[in-house]
């Protein structure tokens, strides 16, 4: 299960961007992930930012379009980008042929409904299996940060909120803030998790923030959102995150960026700020 097959390698800003394939015991299929190792990794272990991508994406979207390697090399941060779902002939996709469920749309939850429960356990993969593999096989430390976009922004928020002490920092671009109350989330959660909406709360950032005990960890949340995002009003709804954070005393920096949409042009415009946000926490 720990065998890695390197499928690509590219020199980048003095470091290396590499892609690997491995067999995931958690997901029951082969998975591909990418890692960017900055030049500092040649001299010793470096901290890691885990990046979770959005609907329809693979590891390649972020690594090729975000332009993160230059500042990651400057700051000495590795970046690990997993795929967004299990894949393969034996992994069921959307029975209706949609793009917002199944392949490319794992939603970073642990499914408990058949047939999805056999493979769709992206939460366990991202939080446990992949970091254990990365930390065993690459020159990285156990200092971790997490970020993501859209569905991956939702994933980053819940991974941090559900695991106090595991991550030094968290941020998100245009996250699905309240998936239990939006069309994308309702479709995915009803299939992966069943019809009992009470069980959905364990996978919803707004609900997790509301349930944080008074003495619980409150990592400052950094969120960027374009105000020209076509999904803003129906799917993302950052005002719900702001309300939840205000009521719970959760620190939140929510930046509404004028004229920006949901694309990687938006992510590339502000990724440097997020990398510096994580670097400051990872150094502490």
119, 178, 262, 278: the active-site residue: 262
How far apart are alpha carbons 281 and 188 in whole angstroms? 33
State residue 14 phi and psi, 5-degree precision. Answer: 85, -10
Positive/negative CA dihedral, 235, 240, 244, 249: positive
12, 24, 150, 171: the active-site residue: 150
85, 229, 277, 278: the active-site residue: 229
Distances (CA, A) of 22 to 31, 74, 104, 122, 251: 6, 29, 18, 15, 38
How far apart are alpha carbons 74 and 129 in whole angstroms? 28
Q: Is 229 a catalytic residue?
A: yes
Q: Provide CB contacts within 8 A for 78, sequence distance 6+.
A: 35, 36, 37, 38, 41, 46, 47, 48, 49, 72, 138, 140
Helix (H) or strand (E) holding 248: helix 238-248
Active site residues per annotation: 150, 229, 262
């Amino acid at each position: 299960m720990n065998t890695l097959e390197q499928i690509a390698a590219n020199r980048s800003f003095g470091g290396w961007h590499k892609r690997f394939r491995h067999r995931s015991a958690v997901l029951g299929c082969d998975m591909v992930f990418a890692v960017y190792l900055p030049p500092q990794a040649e001299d010793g272990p470096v901290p890691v930012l885990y990046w979770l991508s959005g609907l329809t994406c693979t590891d390649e979207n972020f690594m090729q379009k975000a332009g993160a390697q230059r500042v990651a090399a400057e700051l000495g941060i590795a970046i690990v980008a997993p795929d967004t779902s299990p894949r393969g002939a034996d992994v069921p996709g959307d029975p209706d042929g949609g793009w917002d469920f199944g392949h490319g749309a794992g939603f970073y939850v642990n499914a408990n409904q058949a047939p999805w429960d056999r493979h769709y356990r992206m939460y366990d993969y991202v939080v446990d299996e992949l970091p254990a593999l990365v930390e065993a096989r690459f020159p990285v430390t156990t200092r971790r940060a997490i970020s993501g976009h859209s569905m991956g922004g939702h994933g980053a928020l819940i991974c941090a909120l559900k695991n106090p002490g595991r991550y030094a920092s968290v941020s998100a671009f245009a996250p699905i803030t309240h998936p239990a109350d939006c069309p994308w989330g309702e479709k995915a959660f009803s299939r992966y998790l069943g019809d009992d909406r009470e069980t959905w709360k364990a996978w919803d950032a707004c609900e997790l923030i509301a349930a944080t005990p008074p003495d619980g960890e409150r990592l400052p949340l950094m969120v960027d959102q374009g105000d020209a995002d076509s999904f803003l009003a129906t799917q993302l709804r950052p005002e719900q995150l702001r309300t939840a954070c205000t009521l719970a005393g959760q620190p939140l920096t929510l930046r509404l960026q004028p004229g920006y949409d949901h694309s990687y042009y938006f992510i590339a415009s502000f990724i440097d700020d997020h990398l510096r946000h994580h670097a400051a926490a990872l150094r502490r």
